[in-house]
Amino acid sequence: MRMSTALARRCRGLSLSNLQRHERAIADYSKAIELDEKYEIAWNNRGFSNFNLARYQESLADYTRAIALDSQYSHPLNNRYDMDDRSNECSRVG
C-alpha cells in the first residue's frame, strides 16, 4: 500500500516537473520519500526539480542519497556529472 501511494506521488511529481511546476513536484517527491525513504527514483527526481530551481546544494544531496541507495542507478550519477560539468563551465566563463 505504501509503495503504491509513493509511486502515485512520484508519478504525479514527474507530470508536474514536465510542466515546469517544480515546487509542486518537489512536494510530491518529498511525500513519496516520506512514504518510502529508500525510493531512489523519487530522490533523483526531487534532485532534478531542485536543480531546475537553482537549489544546487539540495539537488546534490538528493542525487547523493539516490546513489547511496542504488549505486547502479545511472540517472543520479549522470545528473551529478552534469551538475559538476555545468559548474566547471560557469567558473571558466566567470
Domain segments of the chain: what residues?
2-93
At residue 25, what is the residue type?
Answer: A
Instruction: Give the separation between CA 45 and CA 76, rounded to whole angstroms.
Output: 9
Fold of 2-93: 1.25.40
Backbone angle region of 54, left / alpha / beta, with phi > 0 → left and psi within -120 to 50 → alpha: left
Backbone angle region of 20, left / alpha / beta, with phi > 0 → left and psi within -120 to 50 → alpha: left
Q: Which three cell numbers stand for residue 2?
A: 505504501
- Please, which pLDDT band fits residue 61 given cuts at 50, 70 and 90? very high
- 63-74 pLDDT per residue, tens: 999 999 999 999
Three-state secondary-structure class, residue 70:
coil
| pTM for this model (two decimals) | 0.86
Q: Compute CA 79 distance to the chain's CA centroid, rounded to the nearest angstrom.
A: 9
